[in-house]
Structure 1
Amino acid sequence: MRAPDWLTRRPVAHRGLHDAARGIIENMPAAAHAAVAGNFAIECDIQLTADGEAMVHHDDKLGRLTAGSGPLLTKTAAELKAVKFKDTAEQIMTLGDLCTLVAGRVPLVVEVKSHFDGDRKLVRRMAEVLSSYSGPVVGMSFDPDQVLALREIMPNLPRGITAQRTYDDSSWTKLTQAQRDSMLYLRHGFSTEPHFVAFWVNQLPAPAPWIARNIFGCPLLAWTVRTADQRERAARYADQMIFEGFVPGT
């Protein structure tokens, strides 16, 4: 299977087309509406709830952008759907809510968030939701095991790996050295068989995504593009960008 052509046709709005200055927060319904209006694909994150639902939210805890506190994994979908984004009237969506809102009008790029514990319930729920969705969609994850789950549970869904050149920054201290090493150089590629790669723009160029793109034909997305320099780097080394903080073409 090849990655779909639409994946690189238009820039991808990171967590929707959000703009805090206008009261539009990442991953909330207004950000999805704005991306649809701009004809941009939507990158979004999903997290697992206590009762096995897929919620559209980047952080694994409440509080940074929302009311409330505590891990999403300890709360039910009903509890989380009642949570509002700060200083807005909007509430957290399920993946099913997002699919209903978008209704196939723009592509979805769904990042499966992981606790790196081998739990595949989130991918199973994603598969259930997407089984009745006919719009363009792909899945991806930083966790190679979740990409493998995408391959095994949804073999007909195009899948990608989200990656970077090194994993020594503070975001990855929760993982063991062995887990971090397993993510290096896309070395899991022969088992996960990704159809595309999403790579940290600040670490491009890099050998592994170059090989994936030029030898194996995997389209390369650059994340997350915010500045003019990053945009130039993405244009030079990748096939498309995942962007935020500006509107391409304006």
Structure 2
Amino acid sequence: MQDTAWLTSRAIAHRGLHDMNRQRWENTLSAFAAAVERGYAIECDVHRAADGVPVVFHDEELKRLTGREGRVWQHTAAELTGLSVGGTEDHIPSLSEMLALVDGRVPVIVELKGVAGHDQGLAEGVLECLADYPGETALMSFDHWILRDLDRLGGNLPIGLTAHGRSMADMEAHFSMLAHGISFASYCVDDLPNPFVSFLRERLSIPVITWTVRNEAGVERTFRYADQMTFEGFSP
């Protein structure tokens, strides 16, 4: 199992230290620079562009963040990085561009966003970007097929399951992923506690971070039932 002690050592800025998309928008170089300045770890989201390049962007569709129609996987990285985010001077960054900015100064947790039928090579592309990266990094995803790809491809990076839910079906699905190299979990704070998270922490000594904490109640719930928080909208 990979070293994950660093994963819980500091609060994690959700999509960088943005200001809820008023002036400093999520998943932008400005948000990442602000997180580095404050010493927070960074969570970011990555999609595969049409030419296979990983780009930092949360949604499958472009509309909410760029005002443009279309989907990320329909455009090349050059086209995407030419788009303004929120009408600001920030553009959609490539993963390589984001990593060059952070340069190992704070930990980075990359969430891989799968799009069924349009994400072949995403795991490989992300691992290639990280091959010579000097800083602490981890990978995670909601998408089980992405996690199986990461497990198959090997490497020494921690791999995490991003998850939510409390139902029996949710628990069964989450437990099934323990066979695929999971070394941490990122769990919805509103769905704590639950048997899966308790089993990870108490029986397997696997750390759990939470998403997304926006108030004191979320902070309190995190540190009662998990190990560290992914936060936005305030500064811990």
TM-score scaled by structure 1?
0.89
Post-superposition shift, 1:184?
4.3
Among 167, 182, 186, the residue aligned to 1:198: 186
Aligned position for 1:172: none
SS in 2 for 1:139: strand
What is the count of residue pairs matched by the alignment? Answer: 236
CA contact (8 A) 1:144 1:183 kept: no
TM-score scaled by structure 2?
0.94
Post-superposition shift, 1:87?
2.7
CA contact (8 A) 2:21 2:86 kept: no
Alpha-carbon distance in 1 for matches of 2:171, 2:59: 21
SS in 1 for 2:206: coil
Alignment RMSD, CA only? 1.9
Aligned position for 1:44: 44
CA contact (8 A) 2:139 2:158 kept: yes
SS in 1 for 2:150: helix
Greater shift, 27-36 or 117-126, is seen at: 117-126
Post-superposition shift, 1:156?
1.1
Residue 33 of structure 1 aligns to which amino acid in structure 2?
A
Change (3 A) 1:31 1:11: same
Structure 1, unmatched stretches of 5+, are 168-180
Aligned position for 1:11: 11
CA contact (8 A) 1:120 1:149 kept: no
Alpha-carbon distance in 2 for matches of 1:47, 1:132: 20
Residue 17 of structure 2 aligns to which amino acid in structure 1?
L
Query: Are 1:241 and 2:229 matched, yes or no?
Result: yes
Show the 5 A alignment for 1:1-250. Answer: 1-20=1-20, 23-117=23-117, 119-166=119-166, 181=169, 184-248=172-236
Structure 2, unmatched stretches of 5+, are none
SS in 1 for 2:73: helix
Post-superposition shift, 1:118?
8.7
Alpha-carbon distance in 2 for matches of 1:41, 1:212: 22
SS in 2 for 1:34: helix
Post-superposition shift, 1:207?
0.4
SS in 1 for 2:93: coil
Identity, % of aligned positions: 40
